[in-house]
Amino acid sequence: MNIQQTIRKIIDGVKTHLADFEVRDSQLQFMDAITDICENKDSPNSIIAELPTGTGKSLGSLIPALAYTQVTNEKRSKDDTIKICYSTATISLQKQLLRDVELLRASGVDFKAHIVVGRGRFICKRNALALMRPDSEQANLLTEQNSGDKNNDVGLPPPESTTISEVEKTKVKKAIYQLKDDEWTGIVDDLDRELTMEDRTWRRVRADANTCNRQCQYWGSGCPFVKNRMDTESADVIITNHAMVFADLEKSAILPAPERTLHILDEAHHLVDNFHGTMERKMSFSAIYDTCTRQLGAISTGIAMGSEIADIKNHEHEVNQRLVRVRDALLPFMQFLDDRYHQYAETLPVSERDKAIWRLDTNYITQSGMLDSMQIIYDDLVVVRQKIASVIEEINAADKELNIDEAQVIGQLGVHHNNIDSSCTLLTMYLNAKDTDAFWYKRHQAKGSASATLFGAKVNVSEDMKVLFWERIHKSIAMSATLSNDGAFSSFNHESGLAQPSACEYRFNSPFTEAFQYSSLHLYPDFPEPDWRNETAHSQSIVDELIRFMSYHKAGLQLFVSKRQMNEVVSLLPAALRESTLVQGVDGARSQIIETHRKKIDKGELSLLIGLASFSEGLDLKKHYLTFVGIAKLSFGSFNEPRKITESENLQASGGNPFMQLTLPCAEKALQQSVGRLIRSIECRGEVAIFDRRILTKRYGAGLLERLPPFYREFHTRQQRYG
């Protein structure tokens, strides 16, 4: 069978399994578009698609992707098969996707799907058993020898206690029993709530790349991490997050190589930010100074032990000398930046001086003399990085099992290597500073010159994304409900490096036209201006409207841009309504209060969800579970970050308009996501209220309104509200 015949067979199977299943017109058009890039050799390998809520983009992409891989892999060798990698921005959407996977399987489609998470999300049996030993604290001292450095006045935090409480040890013990009985996957996210561990406990028991090797006695199907990776290798569909996709590009250590992967990139409006996250560099002064002082003994122990295990030359003495030189160079360098920062901080409000961000331009970097110190630090650190890396590599290559104490020491050596590697990468960026990049110094609240971090980031990553990802992948489908702005994909094209003719572009119609016509959009031209000067009046006006809407709605959602205003509105709610309100971060975590909301609605009770930006995406409450959505303000994003400020300045210098080209597209996408919470199916009905007059009073507002769904619009003037 060809691809189109295979697609028809899959759809027929789903219809047989679900009698009421119906392929929507836009969903079918989407499948046709994917089929075209798979069958037509003259078509690009990528698709950029905007699919409104309800189009069925997960099934619409999975069905043709599965058909393509089934047909194509019949002609390929086993080692060259094409895999499907479906990535999202959130864990909740991965779990939603599993429902579609199970539907396809139940409909007769033969394939294996598997969720992939990072190594650090898995428990390590060896580390867990080591923690439960009676002498675990004493054994852990091997990794925390102190060099006797007394310079705590530089701002180093106190060493973290090695003592783990008996309560925490009991949690670890129960988790291991659950793992043994196949009642737990070994992934921290799947752990029973009552077994949730403290962060420092989890750091002691999680899997570690530096000691996770075939020589471990638990290596094999009994190790949750190894079992997960074995399942990954045999899977036809791999489900993960965007960050994992980009982090794995260099080595393809976890995911299949891009060259033999069909990537389905859901919520693609997050792609560029996720890629930026993998490209950002930083050097924590407290971490690197700690490495060169308190941790000298632990590093020496690790190198000496590792060299003996791997039977290689011991460079312990050289590494120690170089780290002492780094320490001696760091002290004046940190003090220099700390002094200059405080000069800058004098120009700021008092409340911001202890934790502000100081942007560094290339002129200052090259002319202040800081590069001389950075070069000295880098020259020694890069040698230390190489020496430690060679020890770890030789240990992993040696055919010898590490005992528990050896694993702990080498594991900590790997932690120090990662810290040194991060610092070297940041220093390299500064030593080769470009005007188009962003650099900044962030002060933390503690006193002392080490209580700060240096950052560096590329402002424009489009070329990196193009070379490292788009030009390498076999095929890709970048899709979202909010990819376009002003009716085109210009912002996404510019930021991601993917555009015509390298990609086909599609915008599909919503299947919910009727639902929109029976729902209302409420607008408020006379509302108080939503700025800091009128925030209290604006908040009180929102409360007045919430009282009115929730007098006849049972299920509501109120979204806020800032936590400050959210808390203010909650404090102003009348007691009766507050009792029916579930507030993010106050009444529980996101998943908990959504579950509670559903239960309250099932009981016929009133429930109002109140939350921030995370509630405007991935929240799927259909029909009577959500009939009202309130939006406090337009969200223009956070453009006070150094990278975004630099981007704005670069754009303005080249004759562009930062507000129109950067800020407004961000606001448009955020608004569409928020409004999109209401209509999730053809049966949904309800009301949306935008409590921001700027959408009516500012010139840009007309364009934002024009691209919202065609709701019936109601305008609330002062006379209508109070007359």
Q: What's the mean pLDDT when you consider all of the chain?
A: 91
- Six token digits for residue 604: 């016929």
- Whether residues 546 and 682 share a domain: the answer is yes
Residues pairing with 50 in the sheet: 480, 507
Within a domain: residue 603? yes
Asked which of 155-169, 270-284, 497-511 is least confident by mean pLDDT, the reply is 155-169
Q: Grade residue 135 by pLDDT with cuts at 50, 70 and 90.
A: low
Say how far apart CA 490 and CA 505 lie, in whole Å: 11
CATH of the domain at 577: 3.40.50.300
Same domain, 557 and 661: yes
Helix (H, G, I), strand (E, B) or coil at 456: strand
Which pLDDT value is given to residue 633?
96
Residue corresponding to tokens 């989890």: 202
At 295 the three-state DSSP class reads coil
- Structurally, the chain folds into a number of domains equal to 3
pLDDT (tens digit, 9 = 90+) per residue, 323-332? 999 999 999 9
Nearest in space to 594 (alpha carbons), one of 571, 563, 626, 572 = 626
Nearest of 573, 572, 600 to residue 588 by alpha carbon: 600
Q: What domain range includes position 330?
A: 281-457
Position 722 confidence tier, pLDDT thresholds 50, 70, 90? very low
Report yes or no: 396 and 354 within 8 Å, Cβ to Cβ. no
Predicted confidence at residue 149, as pLDDT, reads 46
Please report the pLDDT score of residue 406 as a whole number.
85
Q: What angle in degrees, to the nearest 10, is found between the helix axes of 91-106 and 3-17?
A: 90
Give the 3-state secondary structure of residue 392. helix
Dihedral (C-alpha) 194, 199, 202, 208: value to the nearest 10 degrees? Answer: 150
Work out the number of other CB atoms within 10 angstroms of the CB of residue 51. Answer: 26
Q: Which amino acid is at 189?
A: D
pLDDT of residue 35: 96
Helix locations, 449-559, DSSP H: 462-465, 490-496, 513-517, 535-549
Q: Is pLDDT of 597 > 50?
A: yes
Please indicate, yes or no, whether residues 542 and 662 belong to a single structural domain of this protein.
yes
Structure-token pair, residue 441: 């110094």
Q: Cα dihedral sign for 137, 138, 140, 145? A: positive
| Domain contains 125 | no
Residue 685: per-residue pLDDT: 95
Same domain? For 495 and 406 the reply is no
Write the pLDDT tens digit of every residue in 640-671: 789 999 999 888 999 999 999 899 999 999 99
Average pLDDT over residues 571-596: 93
Nearest Cα neighbor of 380 from 423, 334, 418, 440 is 423
pLDDT of 542-554, one tens digit each?
999 999 999 999 9
Specify if 206 maps to a domain: no
| pLDDT greater than 70 at residue 138 | no
Same structural domain for residues 519 and 501?
Answer: no
Q: What is the pLDDT of residue 15?
A: 92
- Rounded Cα distance, 401 and 656, in Å: 60
Cis peptide before 665 (omega within 30 of 0): no
Band of the pLDDT at 422, cuts 50, 70, 90?
very high
* Cβ-contact 297, 147 below 8 angstroms: yes
Q: What is the DSSP letter of 659?
A: I
- Predicted pLDDT at 151: 52
Position 482 scores a pLDDT of 92
Say if residue 303 is in the same domain as residue 263: no
How sure is the predictor about 337, in pLDDT bands with cuts at 50, 70 and 90? very high
Q: Report yes or no on 295 lying in a domain.
A: yes
pLDDT higher than 80, residue 367: yes
Do 685 and 563 have their domain in common? yes
In a domain, 370, yes or no: yes
| Type of residue at 703 | G
In a domain? residue 598: yes
Answer yes or no: is 481 within a domain. yes
Helices (H), 477-623: 490-496, 513-517, 535-549, 563-572, 575-579, 590-602
Residues 613 and 558 in one domain: yes
Whether 188 is in a domain gets the answer no
Burial class (CB within 10 angstroms; exposed 0-12, middle 13-18, buried 19+) of 553:
middle
Give the model's pLDDT for residue 225.
Answer: 92
C-alpha to C-alpha distance for 292 and 294, rounded to whole angstroms: 7
Residues 6 or more apart whose Cβ sits within 8 Å of residue 510? 26, 52, 53, 54, 55, 516, 709
Mean pLDDT of 702-720: 89
560 is written with which tokens?
A: 């806020």
Give the pLDDT score at 532. Answer: 83
Which of 149, 159, 148, 458 is CA-nearest to residue 330?
149
> Cα torsion for 181, 186, 189, 193, to the nearest 10°?
40
493 falls in which pLDDT band (50, 70, 90)? very high
Q: What was the pLDDT predicted at 272? A: 96
pLDDT digits (tens, 9 = 90+) for 146-184: 444 455 678 787 777 778 899 999 999 999 999 988 899
Domain identity same for 412 and 442: yes
Range from 279-293, 516-530, 637-651 carrying the lowest mean pLDDT: 637-651
Beta pairing partners, 47: 477, 504
Taken in order 311, 315, 320, 323, the sign of the CA dihedral is negative
Q: What are the distances in angstroms from CA 357 to CA 344, 426, 430?
A: 10, 17, 17
Of the candidates 300, 310, 560, 342, which has an alpha carbon nearest to the alpha carbon of residue 451?
Answer: 342
Query: Does the structure show a pLDDT above 90 at 129?
Result: no
The candidate with the shortest Cα–Cα distance to 623, out of 708, 713, 709, 555, is 555
326 and 255 together in one domain: no
pLDDT tens across 431-469, in order? 999 998 999 999 887 678 889 999 999 999 999 999 999
265 and 367 in a common domain: no
Radius of gyration of the chain (CA): 28
Residues 431 and 485 in one domain: no
Q: What is the DSSP string of 596-652?
A: HHHHHHHTT--EEEEE-GGGGSS----GGG--EEEE-S-------SHHHHHHHHHHH
- Whether 140 shows a pLDDT value over 70: the answer reads no
Q: Which tops the pLDDT comparison, 219 or 476?
A: 476
Average confidence (pLDDT) over 47-58: 92
